[in-house]
Chain A
Amino acid sequence: MKEEGVSEVLGFVLILMTCVIFLSLFTAAVLPNMIKESEMQDTQSTFLQFSQMKSDMDTLCLADAAGVRRYAVFTESKTARLSLSYGKPVGVLREAVLTYESENILTEKLRLVLSKDGIAKNGRLVLPSSCRFAVNPADTAEQMKTGTDFRVEYTYLGPVTDHGAEWHLFSMRIL
């Protein structure tokens, strides 16, 4: 009778150990890979959304579609920060610099900057510029939003020339 009791306890302990080992292996080997893969997919997805917004802004400039308003939507799985700041002066206007930043757990943090040069990812220019974007400080303020859902509203206002260089004026809002 005593031996039977020991066998049951031993069986339970063995099953528990198997479960613990399985969970430990999952946490140590599988989970980091899953998190890493998810972060890489998020990074790619955000970059593509950024690139699509740039392509659409380029399309508006090339089509000379003054007065047309568009939206770019960014939906993130984690908290990120999107800001619009002023860059180089363009007469009374300013270069539009759009910056997206998010922290990652296992992969390097993501910093995307859309400026007159194009899109830079973590300081490296990965998509050169086709058109240069400017904003008028009188109607577009510097702005910043932190969260998981962003909407950038942009309206093309027309081309502007400054010291022989062509810029394209936009009105922008982060919502």
Chain B
Amino acid sequence: MEKDSGTAAAVAVIMLLAVIMLAAGVWAAVVLPAEAEEAREAEIAQAKTALEDTVFLLDALSNVSFAAETTVFTALPAGTIQTETLGILKTGNGYTVPLTSLTCSGFGGTELGISAGGVWRKDGGDAAWNLFPKTSYETGHLAFSLPVFTRNVAYGSSEMIPLGFQYLSTGRCEETGEYLFLTVASSESWVLDLWETVFAEAVFSAEGRLHAEISRNSESVQAVFTADAGMLTVSVEEKRYAVFAGGKS
């Protein structure tokens, strides 16, 4: 009887400890990672909104007559940003536009960026547009408008990142013909994935009046455009901006 009482007490203590350890284990294994993931997604959502706002701000800036005298300022969430060149866009007559990106990282394995006037997101090796680059098609005229960042910036902060954009100039190329092609060359396959969808989206948004034959290899993706109207004009507008990070200009 006395021996049983002692054993029961020991078992109770061990069981109590086991329950506490189990609860702590479940919390550490399930709740903590879920909370961390939720916080990371919230940060990504904030960065995505900030980047989309930046695209709209740049678009508005490039359309005003006094753009050259104006610098606009905005802020991005904590992390790192850098400007980089992801590849080039080449027209049929040889005009090339660098496909620059303002890339934000610091959200685990996820990166976000502004490129070609759209906002992309990359998780590991997979990338998708959160906001498509601006293309338009009207009566035989397909237009692309691509912001290009001309200044190299690399900046990191554990607080927010102040950014300034100064409009510099616009370059423009126009080509007319029955078959017009655009080529994007890049060493990164996810960039080619993104551009494959840009070309497909341009056709889709033209509601059947524009057609494209899209081909792809390991280094480039090419679209050969034709239009129901017969002759087609493709214009590529390159809007150049200088970027300043950290409040310096």
Contact = CB atoms under 8 A, between A and B. Distances in A.
B77 A44 contact: yes
Interface residues of A, number: 29
B56 interface: yes
Contacts of A40: 159
B162 A1 contact: no
B186 interface: no
Contacts of A12: 13
Interface string A42-73: 00110110011011101100111000000000
A59 B57 contact: yes
Contacts of A130: 70-73
Contacts of B64: 62, 64
Contacts of B72: 55, 58, 62, 130
A44 B57 contact: no
Contacts of A59: 53, 56-57, 60
Nearest to A118: B73
Given A4-B2, A44-B159, A62 B57 contact: yes
A63 B160 contact: no
B75 A47 contact: yes
Interface residues of B, number: 32
Nearest to A53: B53
B49 interface: yes
Interface in B137-192: 159-160, 162, 164
A170 to B, nearest CB: 16
B53 to A, nearest CB: 5
A71 to B, nearest CB: 14
Interface string B65-92: 0000011111101100000000000000
A89 interface: no
Contacts of B46: 45, 48
A64 B60 CA distance: 9
Contacts of A118: 73
Contact of A48 (B2, B13, B77, B164): B77
B50 A48 contact: yes
Contacts of B39: 41
Contacts of A45: 46
Interface stretch (A80-88, A95-103, A121-129, A132-140): A121-129
A127 B53 contact: no
A12 B75 CA distance: 55
Interface in B200-249: 247
B9 interface: yes
Contacts of B53: 52, 55-56, 59
A4 B63 contact: no
Contacts of B71: 128, 130
A47 B2 contact: no
Given A11-B9, A51-B160, A52-B50, A58 B75 contact: no
Given A15-B16, A56-B53, A126-B162, 12 more contacts: A8-B6, A12-B13, A40-B159, A48-B50, A51-B160, A55-B54, A55-B56, A55-B72, A58-B57, A59-B53, A63-B60, A130-B72
9 contacts: A1-B2, A4-B2, A44-B159, A45-B46, A47-B160, A48-B77, A58-B57, A128-B71, A130-B71
Interface of A: 1, 4, 7-8, 11-12, 15, 40-41, 44-45, 47-48, 51-52, 54-56, 58-59, 62-64, 118, 126-130
The 8 A-B pairs with the shortest beta carbon distances in the complex, nearest first, are A62-B60, A51-B75, A63-B60, A130-B72, A55-B74, A59-B60, A55-B53, A59-B57
Interface of B: 2, 5-6, 9, 13, 16-17, 39, 46, 49-50, 53-54, 56-57, 60-61, 63-64, 70-75, 77-78, 159-160, 162, 164, 247
